[in-house]
């Protein structure tokens, strides 16, 4: 590791490699602050990578939380511009079913308009024509400017841009304590989670953007940020059932949002308070699966017979307020805490609450606060400056049509041409489901902090398709071995971990085609290839 990273005295250290941390790093760097982003594992491993991927119009919150609704629609419009290749603009429906109160619709539309959301009541028949998968028994429909967004690529684009503006980025570096001098926070103690090495980094201001883990980070600094860990479980279906987001037009409840994204559809969520101690290891329970399936089928009946790819759960970093057991009625509003005025701890800011949709605004608020403390005048430009990959409106296709070119543009926008595609080797396909080439894998390894298969999956969707990594994982493992100078043992363990990570998501929905697919995977990796456990150091078969 480059030691100069640790010798520098930064203006800002940001803790947390989710959308908010990455967005804050980008904002700080763009305003000319010397910036270091630290993340204890990989990017997007918290709530950023474990949600619907919904580009909220804000309509969902219009009735219950006007402030969040307004923030959502503002950011919705900004993201369409600054994050174009990572956004799908397909609109959404809020449907009323016979069991729902149609009178709610009027209040809903009125609230939407008040928040600045273009909500349009449409005839149920028209809704069925627009979105044929919708429950045909609907008695009301409202069209809103919902969309979907890929949180993995959105976050990486923020990281890339932060780096382009001079920010330093460290993944697998966990904050273990704070450097305190005269009652002021002057930086962080770090542990390299791969090598175990201990480090420290210094800065004028440290920003806590660690999502739900922010409460633990704050505790470590001796201040109290009371959070409400609200677990949300979701299911991914094996193909794109719907082409518009489908919501229930009622007070927010379980499993009432169905979001299409790329080649799949996601239903979610549940909402339950969980102990803070459990947030590192979330499992989807059979009861949650039951609710998601039965409620989901009310939005789109086809879900009942669609293959489920996997299940996953994230934890919302809600800021505790009243006695709401589910957390549904807690505001999704942004909370930015100045610990100097609040707790007498200078040099420390916590940015939390909010949601994926408002990550940029959260970053702006936190950066504004940091700038005012540092006496920096620069204004925020993140709302008007496109992210890497969305700087031009179109990508010229090379003269000789390249295989999987469109998939690459879809994933990387205008950065796609920088992916090596010079020769046949670079164009070879590693993952057929998602059309990922050797060149794209190399690009991710080189530019996107990739050393493992799971990281590769988050960056380029490798193994996210219908086969869930049946052949591509092993192909990519070979490339990782060669490009990252990893030992075979290390890569073998990585492969085993990848297989188990995929299985973790399949396990809660282990029946039907998912079970059949799992059996095929076991035949290939365990029976044919002979992988039997996560650590297979000894190749000999001792009789």
Partner 1 sequence: MKFDYIIIGGGLSGLTCGIRLSQAGKKVAIISAGQSTLHFGSGSLDLLGYDNEGNIADNPLDAIGRLNENHPYRKIGTERIERLAEEAKTLLDDCGIHTTGTAQKNHYRITPMGFLKPTWLTLENYATSPSASELPWKSVILANVAGFLDFPIEFISDGLGKLGTRTEVEIISIPALKARRHSPSEMRSANIAKILSSEETLNQIAEVLNSMEETAEAILMPAIVGLDKQDSESSLKQKVRRPLLLLPTLPPSVPGIRMQTMLQRRFTQLGGLYLMGSMVKEGHVENGKLEYVTTSTLMDERLTADAYILATGSFLSDGLKSNYERIFEPILNLDVTAKENRADWIDPNVFRTQPYQAFGVKTNERFQTSLEGQTLENMYAIGSVLGGHNAIQQADGTGVSMMTALAVANQLINNL
Q: Catalog residues that contact partner 1 under the rule CB under 8 A.
A: 283, 286, 293, 403-404, 424-425, 427-430, 432, 437-438, 471, 474-475, 477-478, 481-482, 488, 491-492, 496, 499-500, 502-504, 507, 510-512, 515-520, 522-524, 526-534, 536, 538-543
Under the phi-then-psi rule, with left for phi > 0, alpha for psi from -120 to 50, and beta for the rest, what region is 362?
alpha
**Which stretches within 41-174 are classed as H helix?**
59-62, 66-82, 103-115, 124-130, 151-164
State the first-to-last Cα distance of the chain, in angstroms, to the nearest integer.
43
Calpha distance 228→225 (Å, rounded): 10
Helix (H, G, I), strand (E, B) or coil at 431: strand
Nearer to partner 1, 224 or 516 (CB): 516
Q: How far is the CB of 261 from partner 1 (least distance, A)?
A: 24
Calpha distance 217→210 (Å, rounded): 7
Nearer to partner 1, 44 or 468 (CB): 468
CB 391 within 8 A of CB 49: no
Helix (H, G, I), strand (E, B) or coil at 97: coil
Nearer to partner 1, 1 or 488 (CB): 488
Nearer to partner 1, 383 or 429 (CB): 429
Q: How far is the CB of 292 from partner 1 (least distance, A)?
A: 12
Q: How far is the CB of 406 from partner 1 (least distance, A)?
A: 14
Helix (H, G, I), strand (E, B) or coil at 457: helix
Under the phi-then-psi rule, with left for phi > 0, alpha for psi from -120 to 50, and beta for the rest, what region is 222?
left
Question: Per DSSP, what are the bridge partners of residue 104?
Answer: none
The DSSP annotation for 212-224 comes to: GGHHHHHHHTT--
Q: How far is the CB of 498 from partner 1 (least distance, A)?
A: 10
Q: Among 146, 148, 147, 130, which residue's Cα sits nearest to residue 138?
A: 130
Nearer to partner 1, 343 or 432 (CB): 432
Under the phi-then-psi rule, with left for phi > 0, alpha for psi from -120 to 50, and beta for the rest, what region is 337?
beta
Q: How far is the CB of 196 from partner 1 (least distance, A)?
A: 25
Helix axes 66-82, 103-115, angle to 10 degrees: 60
DSSP 449: T
Nearer to partner 1, 325 or 534 (CB): 534
Q: How far is the CB of 477 from partner 1 (least distance, A)?
A: 7
Nearer to partner 1, 346 or 429 (CB): 429
Nearer to partner 1, 176 or 428 (CB): 428
Residue 194 CB coordination number (10 Å): 12
Q: How far is the CB of 540 from partner 1 (least distance, A)?
A: 4
Nearer to partner 1, 129 or 519 (CB): 519
Q: Among 341, 480, 462, which residue's Cα sits nearest to residue 411?
A: 462
Calpha distance 149→168 (Å, rounded): 26
Helix (H, G, I), strand (E, B) or coil at 347: coil
Instruction: Sort 377 into a burial class: Cβ within 10 Å, 0-12 / 13-18 / 19+.
Output: exposed
Q: How far is the CB of 30 from partner 1 (least distance, A)?
A: 38
What's the CA dihedral at 529, 533, 539, 540 to 10 degrees? Answer: -100
Q: How far is the CB of 457 from partner 1 (least distance, A)?
A: 16
Q: Among 239, 214, 175, which residue's Cα sits nearest to residue 47?
A: 214
Nearer to partner 1, 383 or 524 (CB): 524
Q: How far is the CB of 534 from partner 1 (least distance, A)?
A: 7
Calpha distance 352→365 (Å, rounded): 11
Nearer to partner 1, 205 or 492 (CB): 492
Nearer to partner 1, 113 or 425 (CB): 425
Q: How far is the CB of 238 from partner 1 (least distance, A)?
A: 15
Helix (H, G, I), strand (E, B) or coil at 352: strand
Q: How far is the CB of 430 from partner 1 (least distance, A)?
A: 7
Nearer to partner 1, 41 or 507 (CB): 507
Q: How far is the CB of 412 from partner 1 (least distance, A)?
A: 17
Calpha distance 144→534 (Å, rounded): 47
Which stretches of 257-320 are assigned E, i.e. beta strand?
Answer: 257-261, 264-268, 272-273, 308-319
């Amino acid at each position: 590791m480059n030691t100069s990273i640790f010798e520098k005295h930064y203006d800002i250290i940001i803790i947390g490699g989710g959308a908010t941390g990455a967005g804050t790093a980008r904002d700080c760097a763009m305003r000319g602050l010397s910036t270091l982003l630290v993340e204890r594992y990989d990017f997007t491993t918290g709530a950023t990578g474990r949600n619907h991927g919904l580009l909220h119009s804000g309509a969902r919150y219009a009735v219950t939380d006007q402030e969040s609704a307004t923030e959502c629609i503002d950011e919705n419009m900004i993201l369409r511009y600054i994050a174009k290749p990572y956004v799908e603009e397909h609109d959404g429906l809020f449907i009323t079913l016979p069991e729902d109160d149609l009178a709610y619709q009027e209040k809903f539309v009125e609230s939407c308009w008040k928040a600045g959301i273009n909500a349009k009541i449409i005839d149920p028949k028209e809704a069925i024509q627009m979105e044929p998968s919708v429950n045909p028994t609907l008695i009301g429909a409202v069209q809103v400017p919902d969309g979907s967004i890929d949180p993995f690529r959105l976050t990486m684009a923020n990281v890339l841009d932060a780096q382009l503006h001079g920010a330093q980025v460290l993944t697998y570096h966990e904050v273990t304590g704070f450097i305190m001098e005269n009652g002021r926070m002057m930086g962080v103690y770090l542990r390299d989670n791969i090598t175990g090495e201990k480090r420290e980094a210094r800065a004028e201001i440290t920003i806590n953007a660690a999502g739900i883990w922010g409460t633990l980070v704050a505790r470590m600094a001796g201040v109290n940020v009371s959070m409400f860990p609200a677990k949300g479980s979701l299911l991914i279906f094996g193909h794109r059932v719907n082409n518009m987001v489908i919501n229930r037009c009622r007070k927010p409840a379980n499993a009432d949002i169905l979001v299409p994204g790329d080649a799949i559809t996601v239903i979610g969520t549940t909402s339950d308070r969980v102990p803070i101690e459990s947030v590192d290891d979330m499992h989807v329970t059979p009861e949650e699966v039951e609710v998601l399936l039965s409620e989901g089928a009310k939005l789109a009946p086809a879900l009942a017979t669609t293959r489920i790819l996997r299940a996953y759960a994230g934890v919302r970093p809600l800021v505790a307020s009243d006695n709401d057991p589910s957390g549904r009625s807690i505001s999704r509003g942004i909370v930015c805490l100045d610990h100097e005025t609040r707790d007498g701890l200078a040099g420390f800011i916590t940015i939390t609450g909010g949601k994926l949709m408002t990550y940029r605004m959260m970053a702006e608020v936190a950066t504004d606060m940091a700038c005012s403390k540092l006496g920096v005048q620069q204004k925020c430009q993140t709302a008007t400056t496109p992210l890497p990959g969305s700087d031009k409106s179109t990508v010229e296709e090379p003269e000789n049509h390249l295989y999987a070119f469109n998939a690459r543009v879809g994933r990387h926008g205008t950065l796609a041409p920088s992916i090596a595609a010079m020769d046949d080797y670079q164009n070879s396909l590693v993952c057929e489901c998602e059309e990922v080439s050797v060149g794209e894998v190399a690009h991710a390894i080189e530019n996107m902090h990739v050393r493992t298969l799971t990281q590769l999956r988050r960056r380029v969707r490798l193994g996210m398709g219908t086969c869930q990594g049946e052949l591509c994982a092993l192909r990519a493992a070979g490339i990782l071995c060669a490009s990252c100078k990893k030992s075979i043992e290390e890569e073998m363990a990585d492969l085993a971990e990848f297989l188990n990570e995929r299985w973790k998501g399949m396990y809660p929905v282990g029946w039907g085609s998912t079970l059949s697919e799992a059996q095929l995977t076991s035949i290939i990796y365990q029976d044919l290839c002979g992988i039997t456990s996560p650590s297979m150091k000894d190749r000999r078969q001792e009789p």
